[in-house]
A and B are shown apart, each in its own frame.
Chain A
Amino acid sequence: MLLEEEPVIEISGLWMNYSDRMVLRGIDLTVYRGQIIGYIGPNGAGKSTTVKIMLGLVEGYTGTVRIFGKDISDGDAAYKARIGYVPEVAEMYDSLTAREYLTFIGELYGMPHEAAEAKARRLMTLLDMERVYDKRIASYSKGMKQKVLLISSMLHDPDILFLDEPLSGLDANSVMVVKEILATLAAKGKTIFYSSHIMDVVEKISSRIILLDGGDIAADGTFGELRERSAEGSLESIFNRLTGFDQYRDIAGDFVAAVMDGEAR
């Protein structure tokens, strides 16, 4: 990493509270080009809130968020043209066909109609979805919807990608394709913000891992660095240790007991 390089994302002293509860407690984060960041943490740790703040979906935070060197709090939405987003829940206008939806999204990102249409078709074909291009999204399977979401986030060749569980619902072959796409994009200098609960994937794909717990950054570094610090084997066990969770066996045992008890009666 060159020192004089300008950071793509720069967050300092980010605090956020929802009515009574603190969600983020002073996050500091600097991200450079070409990084794939595995953004992990237990439910409610503040992962999606951070991403939503960067996308301008949530306001009322304190601290500064600079993207492409520009403070985003001034209300100018132009920076979003260089960002792609795959939300956790597959929200789409699913009464449209993939052609209509993707072209619409492309145009919102400022692409000309024909260019957006042609590119959408090409990307759909590459992901083996050509035959459903003119069918309504509502009729798609979960994996197909996820592919459309992925395409819609990359259609305009963004410099930053925010992906929230981007592999959910995809079959094993598609997972390999998408992982390879992400690695290649990062090699070309794109920044990828990857949040997921599936530790194996995060471990393999990320060049840097940020673990969030209770609104704080609990760990930040490459997988190797994290492993050195905690002397544990997998990211999963590092995750468990850093978030202070060690009773999974007991809970599982009790759960199964409760399930079987209901059946016996």
Chain B
Amino acid sequence: MNEYYSLKLLDRMEGLFRRIGVDYRTMRLILQTKLTMDGRRTPTVLTANQKEANTSSGSPLRMHWMYLLFGLLLIPFVIIEGNYIFSMGLTFGMLMFLISTTLISDFSSVMLDLREKNILHTKPVDRRTLSMAKSIHILLYLLSLTLTLAAPSLLVSLFSQGVIFFLLYGICVVLLDCFILVFTALCYLAILRLFDGEKLKDIINYVQIVLSVGLMIGYQLISRLVNFSFLDSGFDPAWWSYAVPPFWFASSFELLIGGNSNQETTILSLLALVVPLLLLATYIRLMPLFERSLQKLAAEEAGGKDKGTLARTLSMLTCRNKQEATFFRFTWSMMKNERDFKLRTYPTVGLVMALPFIFIFNIVQSGGMSELKGSPGYYGMYAIAMLMLTVVQMLRYSASYKGAWIYKSLPLVPGALISRGMLKAAVLRLLLPVFAAESVIFTVLFGTEIIPELFTILLALLLYSVICWRMFPQALPFAEKYEQASRREFTGVSFMMLFIMLGMGLLHYFAAQIPYGVLVYTGILGAANVWGWQAAFGGRPARGKDMPGAGA
């Protein structure tokens, strides 16, 4: 087992942990073990036979390139002179948005984990130590992520704004992390206390979606504010700004560096210090309760009966091959039942539902609702493509990945048909409903003349799904264990896919500038779809045609 630098840093705070009743040595031991495990790949049934070299360890605290890139975007805000409330408010807003969404989508499962109960809870270790170990484990990741995010702007601020600014920024970032972690944990605790069994798990899912969408809208709100507030440099906080955490942290800059010590700024700055610490104290007090409430998640209840009529009908309509149809139905029911999958994809569903509206928000703000008709705002619907980007990545993971041995033991025709059935299910279950809902709203907003354009967008989205599938490494559905490290390998591809999405939107836009352009574009898309859905899956399977229809 390795010695981790982060743990050595933690050793400095040993006394503090002891004072709140944590068995520090045990906690350190658990953390060290967990960090070691995080660095290792769990071999799945399907990769177990591959060479050892592939399962070598990577550091869990590896650099996250995506976040470093986001971090670079923050640099301008720490350079500009003037009102700190807005520059730093925007910075903290962005930090908070990125950190919270990552926490909710990637670390909720760690926070609500029950699998290790048999291992750890049967040992003579008290609950406080166990849940502290869990929290610190998550906090270490959050901090490493935040540092990557904030590092570029932190460094620049040291030179452009001086040491005090640098230190204050650093402290605020740590406080912000604690705030986010504890706030999320307390939210979960409240839900755990209020609800029971299956409903509890569903509610958690909904809360995650609502939180993600809420964060995004909140962030948009802050950036809107900046637009007009730069005009008058005096900051007059409205009543609601007390409820927006990024403003608290930003105010401390105004107070300590800007020398603006009016009553509002002082109160806001105090909130930045007091609220995180107060929540932290509450959390430490309630930690044993949290662990105890988690047991509720373990209570088994029979799920509702579902005959799968809808899935069967759809699979018959869309799949000609029996095996393809089988995997369509399998993927369909897994997507419906697997909570881990929902937990990681549904926030994206919320996000893509909201993105097109944020896109048109700018138009409405500058010219009012009347400006909307005739504007190209509906191109925002291309953002729905991001849903497929997430779903295609997530379809390979499952909590019950060990069940994948069936793929090896069944007489399956490998490859193509499995993948296509799987992708069709994802498109029908997630992409199309989202698209349909958005289409209805957009038709109301933009008028019926955009309906042909919507058809073009739909074709583009379908083609995009296939490209997504092709670009990511091939995998069988629900056959791998979800791990942070393995997902990070997809960052490069994800970026490229984002550009492809933008490219498709732009092509559409330019095609609309020339006569019959859209018509040609639509035609090309249609042809590409027909070709793509065949070719991407390794061509037409030899036995595909003469097999009887599904489920007959």
A136→B196 CA distance, assembly (Å): 37
Judged by a CB distance under 8 angstroms, whether A31 is at the interface is no
Q: Whose C-beta in chain B lies nearest to the C-beta of A104?
A: B33
- Cα–Cα, bound, A79→B124 (Å): 7
Q: In the complex, A86→B426 CA distance in Å?
A: 40
CA distance A104 to B122 in the complex (A): 14
A-B contact pairs, 14 of them (CB 8 A): A19-B301, A55-B121, A57-B121, A59-B292, A75-B127, A78-B124, A80-B125, A93-B119, A95-B37, A100-B1, A104-B29, A107-B26, A108-B123, A110-B124
A26 contacts the other chain (Cβ, under 8 Å)? no
- A77 CB within 8 Å of chain B: yes
Contacts A108-B26, A110-B124 given; indicate if A19 touches B196 (C-beta within 8 A): yes
B126 at the interface (CB under 8 A from A): yes
Residues of A within 8 A of B125 (CB): 77, 80, 108
Q: Which of A57, A76, A78, A136 contacts B118 (CB 8 A)?
A: A57
A223 CB–B CB distance under 8 Å: no
Q: How many Å lie between the Cα of A108 and that of B31 in the bound state? A: 12
How far in angstroms is the closest Cβ of chain A from B280? 22
Q: Mark A113-147, 1 if CB is under 8 A from B, else 0.
A: 00000000000000000000000101100000000
Bound-state CA distance A92–B33 (Å) is 12
Task: Please name all residues of chain B whose beta carbon is closer than 8 Å to the beta carbon of A95 when the two chains form the complex.
Answer: 37, 40-42
Chain A, 57-85, CB within 8 A of any chain B CB? 57-59, 75-81, 83, 85
State the CA gap A231–B67 with chains docked (Å): 73
* Contact yes or no, A80 B43, CB < 8 A: no
Instruction: For chain A, residues 1 to 38, give those with C-beta under 8 angstroms from any C-beta of chain B.
Output: 18-19
CB < 8 Å: which of B48, B117, B120 contacts A108? B120
Say whether B115 contacts A19, CB under 8 Å.
no
CB of A263 within 8 Å of the partner chain: no
For A19, A58, A87, the residue with the greatest tally of chain B CB atoms inside 10 Å of its CB is: A19
Q: Is the CB–CB distance between A77 and B36 below 8 Å?
A: no
Among B41, B122, B196, B295, find the residue whose CB has the most chain A CB atoms closer than 10 A.
B122
Known contacts A77-B126, A107-B29, A138-B42; is A18 also within 8 Å of B121 by CB?
no
- Determine if B288 is an interface residue (Cβ-Cβ < 8 Å): yes
B119 contacts which chain A residues (CB < 8 A)?
A: 91-93, 105
Output the least CB separation between B287 and chain A (Å).
13
**Contact flag A91-B1 (CB < 8 Å), given A96-B37, A100-B36:** no
Q: Total number of A-B contacts with CB less than 8 angstroms?
A: 81
Contacts of B118 in A (CB 8 A): 57, 85, 87, 89, 91
- CB-defined contacts of B124 to chain A, threshold 8 Å: 77-81, 108-110
B481 to chain A, nearest CB (A): 10
* Interface size range on B against A: 20 to 34
B492 located at the interface, meaning its Cβ lies under 8 Å from any Cβ of chain A in the complex: no
> Chain A's nearest CB lies how many Å from the CB of B54?
14
Contact partners of A138 in chain B: CB under 8 A: 42-43
With an 8 A cutoff between CB atoms, is A189 at the interface? Answer: no
Distance between A80 CB and nearest chain B CB, rounded to angstroms: 4
**Cβ of A56 under 8 Å from chain B:** yes
> B299, A19: Cβ atoms under 8 Å?
yes
Give every chain A residue within 8 A of B258 (Cβ-Cβ): none
Residue on B nearest A152 in the bound complex, by CB:
B119
In the complex, per-residue mask of B42-86: 1 if CB is within 8 Å of any chain A CB, else 0: 110000100000000000000000000000000000000000000
Asked whether any CB of chain B lies closer than 8 Å to the CB of A94, the reply is: yes
Residues of A near B30 (CB, < 8 A) are: 108
User: What CA separation (Å) do A144 and B391 show in the bound complex?
Assistant: 37
Check A57 against B117 for contact (C-beta < 8 Å): yes
**9 closest Cβ pairs, A-B complex:** A81-B124, A80-B124, A108-B123, A95-B40, A87-B118, A85-B122, A95-B37, A91-B118, A77-B124
Q: In the complex, which residues of chain A have a beta carbon less than 8 angstroms from the beta carbon of B288?
A: 75
Known: A107-B29, A108-B26, A138-B42. A55 touches B37 (CB 8 A): no
- With a cutoff of 8 Å between Cβ atoms, the chain A residues found around residue B197 in the complex are 19
Contacts of A91 in B (CB 8 A): 115-116, 118-119
Q: Which residue of B lies closest to A90 (CB)?
A: B118
Chain A residues, CB < 8 A from B115: 91
CA distance A94 to B117 in the complex (A): 15
- Inter-chain contact B126/A139, CB cutoff 8 Å: no
Contact A83 to B43, CB < 8 A, known contacts A18-B299, A100-B33, A104-B29: no
Which of B37, B126, B295, B299 has a CB less than 8 Å from the CB of A93?
A: B37
Interface string of B94-126 (1 = CB under 8 A from A): 000000000000000000000111111111111
Contact of B299 with A55 in the complex, beta carbons under 8 Å: no
A219, chain B: closest CB distance, angstroms? 27
The answer for the CA separation of A40 and B115 in the assembled complex, in Å, is: 25
CB distance from A161 to the nearest CB of B (A): 12
Cα A136 to Cα B122 in complex, Å, equals: 23
